[in-house]
Structure 1
Amino acid sequence: MTVADEIIREIRAQQGRTELELAELLFGPCKAAQQRINPTCRKLVAKGRLVRTGKGGPSDPFTYHLPRRTNG
């Protein structure tokens, strides 16, 4: 399973996770692990597999959600 697959799995389990939460879930409590998550999350957003909300930063961190499905 790739890191991208694991991120999608965790977002399915709970929408609105931050990059830090994802990093801790996948790699344990290591600040450097967040740097492994960031580019993968950006790629998933660019491909339309995730939606990112928030401004980024400590007071309004990016959170990730699955895109809403539309009929049609």
Structure 2
Amino acid sequence: MSAKTKGWLKGLAVAVITAGATGLLQLLLNPTEVALWTFAQWKGALILSGVFGLIAMLTYIAKSPMPANDPE
């Protein structure tokens, strides 16, 4: 597997972990409020968690060292 592919896979793992942690943090801070959310609020929370995950993924990939002479 190339270094670029490994970087993207690690970035994707960081994104999933960040999105999960964001959702878990919201659940831990406001469990009663989260229990009363409507479907639209759940969708908004999932989208926001995904955005945080995407930012984390792109940040991780940008900071990852990539080989200068990548044959791909």
The structure in which a higher percent of residues are helix is 2
Higher RCO (Cα < 8 Å, 6 or more apart): 2
Q: Is the structural similarity TM-score above 0.5?
A: no
**Alignment TM-score, normalising by the size of structure 1:** 0.28
The structure in which a higher percent of residues are strand is 1
